[in-house]
Amino acid sequence: MKVTVVGAGAVGASCAEYIAIKNFASEVVLLDIKEGYAEGKAMDLMQTASLNGFDTKITGSTSDYSKTANSDICVITSGIPRKPGMTREELIGINAGIVKSVSSDLIKHSPDTIIIVVSNPMDTMTYLVHKTTDLPKNRIIGMGGALDSARFKYRLAEALGAPISDVDGMVIGGHSDKGMVPLTRLATRNSVPVTEFISDERLDQVREDTKVGGATLTKLLGTSAWYAPGAAVSGLVQAIACDQKKIFPCSTMLEGEYGLNDLCIGVPVVLGRNGIEKIVEIELNDAEAAHMKESAEGVSKTNGLLEL
């Protein structure tokens, strides 16, 4: 199993590290445009192998895509992150050009690959890969919901005073502060609805804290976060590599599902060796459906800024 991660910055390197530590891939190639940067990160990570007990071989490359040839999975994290006060949508101008050229270079050397898009605005970048490559839709996956759901579970556990392992929940919709749809109605603590334990007001707070999860960290860190994003990507990569058939909310091209068409947005999907193997349609109540519709309108508006 060969995995390429483009962008050896904060998220890319963290993602490579988590993939290596989980020890399911034979090879991870880190690629960056900055001279020597990916090689340096790869060497540093390889020097953790004996300490962390993994055998995954991590190599680095400065813009040499021949080193990525025949990758089973390619992750795109290249692009600029947001600074405090910025929205993800503001990154579109620079990141669209980067994601378009990177995906084309990757596919030239790995025509059978599965692409996971991380660069923001992620739903629109995922849509861009659909519109500018010939990859089938099951092989183009946007990562946002897996991270947003992890942040949701963190906030739920905090509100419940419970261990995170006791909590389950999912965030669907667009990967943006306004677009996220945290499904509080379906969240559980050890299979009991969380609504049994916390008030509506506290749940509203959980929902709001989840939606601004990225912005909160960007304010604290001065740039966007990387540990949880890297871990979330590694979870998707592992589900595909190990054919786990796990359900994650991922951004995928919708063709009528959830009443939506011609956009990529976060919905639950089954991930296995073929990438997105199934889109899971769950019944939303009126409020959730209205929020999802509004979220989709936001994503479509950002898609409209693309020069296709």
Q: Residues in the site for ligand NAD, rule: CB under 6 A?
A: 6-12, 32-34, 37, 77-82, 91, 95, 98, 102, 118-120, 122, 143-144, 147, 175, 223-224, 226, 229
Q: What is the CA radius of gyration of the chain?
A: 18
Which residue in 109, 130, 175, 291 is the catalytic one? 175
Report the residue number, 189 or 214, with the smaller CB distance to ligand NAD.
Answer: 214
Report the residue number, 144 or 179, with the smaller CB distance to ligand NAD.
Answer: 144
Q: Is 95 annotated as a binding residue?
A: yes
Q: Is 289 annotated as a binding residue?
A: no
Query: Which DSSP string corresponds to 65-96?
Result: GGGGTT-SEEEE--SPPPPTT--GGGGHHHHH
Give the C-alpha separation, 15 to 66, whole Å: 21
175 labelled catalytic: yes
Report the residue number, 118 or 271, with the smaller CB distance to ligand NAD.
Answer: 118
Report the residue number, 216 or 223, with the smaller CB distance to ligand NAD.
Answer: 223
Cis check: omega of the bond before 84, within 30 degrees of 0: no
Residue nearest to ligand NAD according to CB distances in the complex = 9
First to last CA, the chain: 33
Give the C-alpha separation, 183 to 294, whole Å: 15
Min dist CB 38 to ligand NAD, Å, is 8
Q: Is 85 annotated as a binding residue?
A: no
Most distant pair of Cα atoms in the chain: their distance? 55
Q: H/E element holding 5?
A: strand 2-6
Q: Is 151 annotated as a binding residue?
A: yes
Min dist CB 274 to ligand NAD, Å, is 22
Given its phi and psi angles, is residue 259 left (phi above 0), alpha (psi -120 to 50 degrees) or beta? Answer: left
Active site residues: 175
Binding residues for substrate: 82, 88, 120, 151
